Structures are given as C-alpha cells and as structure tokens.
Structure 1
Amino acid sequence: MKRSFLAGLLPLLLAPPVSMAAPAPSAADTGAAGFLAALAQHCGQAFAGRVVANQPASATPDPFEGQVLVMHVRGCDAPAQELRVPFHVGEDRSRTWVLTRVGDRLRLKHDHRHADGSPDKVTLYGGDTHEPGTAQRQAFPVDAESVAMFEREGLAGSVRNTWAMEVEPGRRFLYELSRPDGRLFQVEFDLTRPVAAPPPPWGADAAATEKGA
C-alpha cells in the first residue's frame, strides 16, 4: 500500500512547476489610452525641464539656452480624449502641445500663438502615431498637412520630423524631435518636483472658444 502511494506521488513530484504568468494588461493600460492616463495623473501640475540633447549645434542663437523651461499639464476636461500641455520658454508662452485620442492612436499638434492670442502662421503641425506605442512612449511622424505647411513656409528641414513623448508618472517626462539627418532635440522634465503653475499660454481663451465652436 505504501509503495503504491509513493508510486502515485512520484509523477507529481517530478512535474515541472506551474507557471504563474502575470495577467495581460488591459487595453486601458497600454498604447494611446495608457499614455494619456499616465500623463493625466499630473493634471493641474507644472514641472521644470532642461535640454538634454540639442544636436547638431546651431550657428544661430538658441531660443532655449539660458531660459527657464516649464511644462503645465492642463486642458484636462476630458483626459481620456485630449490633454493640452503648454510649454513655456522663459516669458514666451506661445507653445502648447495638444494630445488627442484618434481611435486607438494618438495625435500630437503644436498650437503656436502670438501674445494677442492669434495663431502663428506655422501652427497646428504634428502627426498621428503609426504604431500602438506603449503607455511610456509614443512617436508621431509628421503628417501630410504639416509637410505642406512646412514647404509653403520654406521650412524644408522639418518635412521629415518625428516627434516623440515619454512619460514615467512621478519620475520624468520627455519631449523629443528627431530627423533622419541626425537632428535630435530633447527636453526632460522632472516629475518628482512640481513647481508653481505659470500663467495661461497665449491664446488659451481663443483656443477654448475655437474648440467649442
């Protein structure tokens, strides 16, 4: 009887351990939805940044050098669909990054305004993600509308732009511009230390009116 019991137990002892695989992340935790949700954790907060890559070096004065760089996560009325993130460069409040959910992808547009709130002649350029991306990183190749604008305004170097953003909630946020010719510009923001919220970006009221129209 004892020998029979041990014989039956032996296969169980020799069997490989059962793998306890982690459950697959839900759609809300990945891709466009996950990225917006990660960034939305900082709605209402502002953070200081620094340029961590800017190559090749420019022969003309750099508008970012020596300036206080601040991002402000606002425009959070419907964070699962859109976030607006003004990017302040010193006293220049002309720039706002607009992230919009388009199906299962994301769209990035750069809203550029003058101090009186009127749109710059080069504005609302950007692109849609071509890949699902992750909750940590999304890349936005330039779209056809932006290419046409750049060509019209004599900005031939920008027609091959790819923008990217990375977010690690509570740690860091990265904005990136790259081109195949080696151009690389990156600004990294410290999400561990919120700073005082800056004034609204130029044209904030106008942008809200246009959105509601």
Structure 2
Amino acid sequence: MKAILPILAVATLNAGCAATPSPADSRDQFMATLQGMCGQRFEGAQSYAVDPNNEFAGKKISTQVNCSAADIRMPVQVGEDRSRTWIFTRPQAGLELRHDHRYPDGKPHKVTMYGGMAKEGGTARSQAFLADKYTADLVPGAETNVWTVTLSEDGKTLTYRLERHAKPRAEFVLQRMPG
C-alpha cells in the first residue's frame, strides 16, 4: 500500500499539470482578432502628426481587412492614393508587419516592405512592431520606429500609431463602417 501512494501522488500531479493549459500566445490571438475582422471596412483620418502639413493632412483614410491563409492585408487609401498596404503575417519567428508601397502601375516603390516583428507583451487587440535592420537601412532615422496597431474592445475603432525615438510621430484613428 505504501508503494502505491507515491505513485498515485505522482500520477495526480502529472494529471494536474496536463490539465493546466499553457498561456495562449498573444501573437496568435492578435491574428485571430484580425481574422475575425475579415471584410470589415474602416474609415477615419490622421489624428496626430509631427508635421501637420504632411501628405495625410485633411484626407480621408480608409482600409478594408482582407484575409488569406498566408496573411492579412489591409490596403490603405489616403484621399485618392491607393499605394499602401499593411501586411500582417505569422512566421515561425513571430508576428510581422510590413508596409507595401506601390506606384500607380503596380511596381514596387523604392521604399517598400519596411516594418518589423512584434515585441513582447502584446495582447489579442494590440501589438507593437519594432523596426528591423532592413527598415533601418532603407529609411534613414527609422531604426527606432515602433508601429502599434490596436483594435478597441468593442471592435469599432482601429488605431495605427508610429513612434520614432520614443516620441509620437503619427497616428490614424479609423472607425468601422456599417455593412
């Protein structure tokens, strides 16, 4: 009987460990949140910019969430300009945001595919992406860029924020459109 008790105790501990779920990865949760937004359209405007006279000033900004098995793409329209797309992917190395910029004929812009990987500590509704080496080499001064993409708890507001050198540089606030 004495020999059985330690075995039962170990079996009970192991069963308890097996039943304890591992913490969910916030990067997977964020991608699932974006997947849940497939087909939704958001419109808004720039809410902040270091340079108030930049190319986004006074223009309507819109995007629609387009999903595939490989990625989530959010083409961004600024006024009549449709040259930008935010691309979210979940490679084995983490969660990635890229900015795809194109000329009107569809050819890649010379400054394109910049971005980086999500840093630790994100949530299912908000992730911050740190500029990678490619971005630092491509865009002078962007080595400290952090892009934060957040969806409000009610799913109605999408916020895209850029910081550089730990200071706000630009922010867009977009509202979900009906239908």
1:123 match: 112
Matching of residue 67 in structure 1 with residue 62 in structure 2: no
Give every structure 1 segment of 4 or more consecutive aligned residues whose post-TM-superposition deviation is greater than 3 Å. 23-26
Query: How many Å apart are 1:181 and its aligned residue?
Result: 5.7
Give the match for residue 165 of structure 1: 149
**Match for 2:98: what amino acid?**
K
Largest Rg, 1 or 2: 1
Task: Please say if residues 115 and 129 of structure 2, whose CA atoms lie closer than 8 Å, have aligned partners that are also in contact.
Answer: yes
Is 1:177 matched with 2:172?
no
Instruction: Note the C-alpha offset of 1:184.
Output: 2.4
Distance 1:96 1:52 in 2: 19
Please state which structure has a larger fraction of its residues in strand.
2
- Which secondary structure state, in structure 2, belongs to the residue aligned with residue 194 of structure 1? coil
How far, CA to CA, are the matches of 2:148 and 2:126 in structure 1? 7
Give the unaligned 5+ runs of structure 2: 1-19
One-letter code of the match for 1:48? E
Read off the aligned partner of 2:58 and give its amino acid letter. Answer: G
Kept in 2, the 8 Å contact 1:34–1:135? The answer is yes
8 Å contact kept, 1:105–1:132: no
Question: Following TM superposition, by how much is the alpha carbon of 1:183 offset from its aligned partner in structure 2, in angstroms?
Answer: 3.8
Preserved CA contact (<8 Å) 1:176 1:187 = yes
Identity of aligned residues (%): 36
User: Per the alignment, do residues 137 and 72 of structure 1 end up closer, same or farther by CA in structure 2, a change over 3 Å counting?
Assistant: same
TM-score by length of 1: 0.68
Paired residues, number: 159
Query: Does residue 1:110 correspond to 2:99, yes or no?
Result: yes
Shift of residue 176 of structure 1?
Answer: 0.9
Partner of residue 153, structure 1: none
Q: Which residue of 2 aligns with 1:144?
A: 133
SS at match of 1:159: helix
Q: Hey, what does 1:92 align to over in structure 2? A: 81
In the alignment, does 2:27 pair up with 1:32? yes
**Contact (CA 8 Å) 1:105, 1:131: kept in 2 or not?**
no
Describe the shift of the 1:52–1:25 C-alpha distance in structure 2 as closer, same or farther (beyond 3 A).
farther
Amino acid at match of 1:135: A
Distance 1:110 1:120 in 2: 11
The amino acid of 1:73's aligned partner reads V
Task: Normalising by structure 2, report the TM-score.
Answer: 0.80
What's the CA shift string for 1:70-101, capped at 9, x where partnerless?
A: 01111x121xx520001110110000000000
Instruction: Show the counterpart of 1:19.
Output: none
For residue 77 of structure 1, what is the aligned residue in structure 2? 68
